[in-house]
């Protein structure tokens, strides 16, 4: 491709971007924070931490995981290797008396569950099944449900720095995933 055609394409792209930006600024306040994942002020996007490498973006929520662990700090978290063990949670495990319900209401079940839910929606899809099962009991949870939630938080703690989402350049539209079927 001749050099002047390539320069023309870049020029038209820049003109389009500038006109689009001006049109949006008529209705909204825009702050330019820099290049995503590179500039210090542009290391977060919609609550997700972004690291940029030469060939990929790495998305994670280490700060949110730290908040989850701070919420659960007074409880003993088991070291888990899987998001949810093969246990069956049921309504039979829910509190029946008012005293049991008051005791369970003092625990941060819904707060932890909400934080884990945001984590599942953004970067930790591996926890989605456990979150779905636990959210069935968000209005009436018992000791077994709370212990299962603490196990999920324990798994998140153990995998905090290893389970991150990678968006690779040149990967096309192929999705690759790994699973241990045991």
Q: Give 53-66 pLDDT, tens digit per residue.
A: 988 899 999 999 99
Domain residue extents for the chain: 62-158
Q: What is the pLDDT of residues 116-175, one digit of tens each?
A: 999 999 999 999 999 999 999 999 999 999 999 999 999 999 999 999 998 887 766 776
**Which contacts qualify for 99-102: CB closer than 8 Å, 24 or more apart?**
100/142, 101/140
pLDDT reported for residue 112: 97
How would you classify residue 100: left for phi > 0, otherwise alpha for psi between -120 and 50, otherwise beta? Answer: alpha
pLDDT per position as a tens digit, 81-103 = 999 988 889 999 999 999 998 99
- In 3D space, the residue among 45, 40, 69, 70 whose CA is nearest the CA of residue 59 turns out to be 45
Cα–Cα distance between 167 and 169 in angstroms, integer? 7
Q: Is the pLDDT of residue 21 over 60?
A: yes
CA angle 83, 125, 113 (to 5 degrees): 65
CA distance 172 to 135: 35
Residue with tokens 């703690």: 157
Q: What is the helix (H) or strand (E) element at residue 59, kind and residue range?
A: strand 56-60
Q: What is the DSSP letter of 46?
A: T
């Amino acid at each position: 491709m001749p050099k002047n055609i390539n320069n023309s394409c870049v020029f038209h792209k820049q003109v389009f971007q500038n006109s689009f930006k001006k049109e949006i600024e008529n209705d909204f306040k825009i702050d330019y924070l820099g290049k995503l994942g590179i500039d210090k002020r542009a290391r977060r996007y919609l609550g997700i931490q972004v690291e940029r490498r030469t060939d990929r973006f790495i998305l994670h929520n280490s700060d949110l995981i730290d908040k989850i662990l701070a919420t659960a700090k007074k409880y003993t978290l088991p070291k888990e290797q899987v998001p949810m063990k093969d246990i069956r949670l049921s309504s039979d495990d829910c509190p029946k008396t008012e005293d049991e319900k008051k005791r369970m209401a003092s625990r941060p079940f819904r707060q932890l569950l909400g934080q884990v839910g945001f984590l599942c929606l953004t970067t930790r899809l591996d926890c989605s099944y456990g979150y779905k099962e636990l959210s069935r009991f968000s209005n009436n949870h018992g000791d077994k449900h709370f212990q299962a939630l603490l196990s999920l938080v324990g798994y998140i703690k153990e995998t905090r720095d290893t389970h991150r989402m990678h968006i690779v350049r040149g990967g096309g539209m192929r999705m690759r995933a790994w699973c241990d079927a045991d």
